[in-house]
Structure 1
Amino acid sequence: MPYLIFQASRGRNPVAERADFTAALAQSAMPGADLVAGVVSADWNQALRALAVAVPEQTPSIIVLDEVPWLVEQDHEFEGALQTVWDRYLSTKPVLLLLVGSDLATMESLQEYGRPFHGRSARMIVRPLNPADVQRMTALDPAETIDAFLITGGFPEIVQRWNPGTSRTEFLRDQLADPLSPLLMAGELSLLGEVPEPSHSRSALEAIGTGERTFGTIANRLGVGNPIPSGTLAPILKTLISKRIVAVDTPLATRPDTKNKRYRIEDPYLRFWLAFLQRSIAEAERGRGDLAAARIERSWSSWRGRAVEPVIRAGLTRLLPDERLPGAEVVGGWWNRQNNPEIDLVGADRDRPAATRIAFTGSIKWLENEPFGQREWERLLAGSMSIPGRDHSTPLIAVSRNGVEQGLRPAASFGPEEIIAAWR
Structure 2
Amino acid sequence: MNSSFIGREREIRLLQHRIDRISQSGRGAAVAIRGRRQVGKSRLVQEFCDRARLPYCFWSASKGAAPALAVEDFTAGLAASGLGGGAPVPAVRTGSWPDAFAVLATLLPQSPSIVVLDELPWASEQDAAFDGALQTAWDRLLSTKPVLLLLLGSDLHMMERFTAYDRPFYGRADTLKLLPLNPAETAAATGLSGADAVDAHLLSGGLPGVLRAWPEGLAAMEFLRLECEDPASPLFSVPQQTLLAEFPTPDQTRRVLEGIGSGNRTRQNIAVAAGSVQGGLPSGALAPILRRLTVEKQVVAEDAPLSTQPGRPSVFRIADPNLQLYFAALRDAFELVQRGHAVQAFGSVRRHWDSWRGRAVEPMVRESLRVAGMLGELPWDGVEAVGGWWNRQFDPELDLVGADRAPVARKVFFVGSVKWLNRPFDRRDRDALMRNAARVPGFDPATTGLVVASRAGLDRDTSTDGIDLVWTPESLLRVWET
Output the TM-score relative to the length of structure 2.
Answer: 0.82
Find 1:348's aligned residue among 403, 426, 430. Answer: 403
Post-superposition shift, 1:264? 0.8
Tell me the residue number matched to 1:132. 184
Find 1:153's aligned residue among 182, 185, 205. Answer: 205
Post-superposition shift, 1:148? 0.5
Post-superposition shift, 1:28? 4.1
Report the more deviating stretch, 242-251 or 63-72. Answer: 63-72
Report the more deviating stretch, 145-154 or 126-135. Answer: 126-135
Report the more deviating stretch, 24-33 or 173-182. Answer: 24-33
Over 3 Å counting, the alpha-carbon distance change for 1:304 and 1:252 in structure 2 is same
Query: Residues 331 and 347 of structure 1 are in contact (CA less than 8 Å); yes or no, is this contact kept in structure 2?
Result: yes
Tell me the residue number matched to 2:305. 251
CA distance in 1, matches of 2:303, 2:370: 15
1:163 has 2:219 as partner: no
Query: Residues 25 and 33 of structure 1 are in contact (CA less than 8 Å); yes or no, is this contact kept in structure 2?
Result: no
- After superposing on structure 2, the runs of 4+ consecutive aligned residues of structure 1 that deviate more than 6 Å are none
Find 2:281's aligned residue among 209, 219, 228. Answer: 228
Match runs of 1:133-282 below 5 Å = 133-224=185-276, 226-242=279-295, 243-257=297-311, 260-282=313-335
CA distance in 1, matches of 2:197, 2:262: 23
1:301-333 CA distances to partner (integer Å, 9 max, x unpaired)? 111110000010011111112342344221110
Post-superposition shift, 1:9? 2.9
Report the more deviating stretch, 68-77 or 189-198. Answer: 68-77
CA distance in 2, matches of 1:298, 1:149: 19
Report the more deviating stretch, 115-124 or 15-24. Answer: 15-24
Report the more deviating stretch, 408-417 or 158-167. Answer: 158-167
Query: Residues 61 and 95 of structure 1 are in contact (CA less than 8 Å); yes or no, is this contact kept in structure 2?
Result: yes
Over 3 Å counting, the alpha-carbon distance change for 1:50 and 1:397 in structure 2 is same
Tell me the residue number matched to 2:163. 111
Query: Residues 92 and 99 of structure 2 are in contact (CA less than 8 Å); yes or no, is this contact kept in structure 1?
Result: no
Post-superposition shift, 1:338? 1.4
CA distance in 2, matches of 1:19, 1:234: 43
Post-superposition shift, 1:232? 1.7
Tell me the residue number matched to 1:389. 442
1:141-176 CA distances to partner (integer Å, 9 max, x unpaired)? 311111100000111232232222212221111111
1:326-379 CA distances to partner (integer Å, 9 max, x unpaired)? 442211100112111110000111115x101111100011111x2112222222
Report the more deviating stretch, 232-241 or 59-68. Answer: 59-68
Query: Residues 64 and 126 of structure 2 are in contact (CA less than 8 Å); yes or no, is this contact kept in structure 1?
Result: yes
The one-letter code of the counterpart of 2:139 is: D
Tell me the residue number matched to 1:416. 473
1:407 has 2:477 as partner: no
1:14-60 CA distances to partner (integer Å, 9 max, x unpaired)? 3443343334334544327734225232x43233223323x234243
Post-superposition shift, 1:272? 1.6
CA distance in 1, matches of 2:140, 2:452: 60
1:51 has 2:101 as partner: no
Unaligned regions of 5+ residues in structure 1, if any?
none
Query: Residues 374 and 408 of structure 1 are in contact (CA less than 8 Å); yes or no, is this contact kept in structure 2?
Result: no
CA distance in 1, matches of 2:122, 2:207: 23
Tell me the residue number matched to 1:357. 411
The one-letter code of the counterpart of 2:475 is: E
Over 3 Å counting, the alpha-carbon distance change for 1:46 and 1:199 in structure 2 is farther
**Secondary structure class of the residue paired with 2:175:** coil
**Secondary structure class of the residue paired with 2:302:** strand
Report the more deviating stretch, 275-284 or 79-88. Answer: 275-284
Query: Residues 176 and 184 of structure 1 are in contact (CA less than 8 Å); yes or no, is this contact kept in structure 2?
Result: no
Post-superposition shift, 1:231? 2.0
- Count how many residue pairs are aligned between Structure 1 and Structure 2: 419
CA distance in 2, matches of 1:17, 1:419: 46
The one-letter code of the counterpart of 1:148 is: A
CA distance in 2, matches of 1:170, 1:374: 32
**Secondary structure class of the residue paired with 1:124:** strand
1:102 has 2:140 as partner: no
Over 3 Å counting, the alpha-carbon distance change for 1:376 and 1:115 in structure 2 is same
Tell me the residue number matched to 1:64. 116
Query: Residues 11 and 70 of structure 1 are in contact (CA less than 8 Å); yes or no, is this contact kept in structure 2?
Result: yes
Query: Residues 424 and 457 of structure 2 are in contact (CA less than 8 Å); yes or no, is this contact kept in structure 1?
Result: yes
Over 3 Å counting, the alpha-carbon distance change for 1:221 and 1:12 in structure 2 is farther
Structure with larger RCO (C-alpha < 8 A, sep 6+)? 2
**Secondary structure class of the residue paired with 1:145:** helix
Tell me the residue number matched to 1:20. 73
The one-letter code of the counterpart of 1:407 is: S
CA distance in 2, matches of 1:44, 1:33: 21
Tell me the residue number matched to 1:379. 432
The one-letter code of the counterpart of 2:134 is: L
**Secondary structure class of the residue paired with 2:413:** strand
CA distance in 1, matches of 2:91, 2:177: 35
Report the more deviating stretch, 223-232 or 247-256. Answer: 223-232
Over 3 Å counting, the alpha-carbon distance change for 1:97 and 1:327 in structure 2 is closer
Tell me the residue number matched to 2:8. none
Post-superposition shift, 1:282? 2.8
Give aligned-pair identity as a percent. Answer: 44
1:84 has 2:151 as partner: no
The one-letter code of the counterpart of 2:281 is: I
The one-letter code of the counterpart of 2:90 is: V
CA distance in 2, matches of 1:139, 1:28: 36
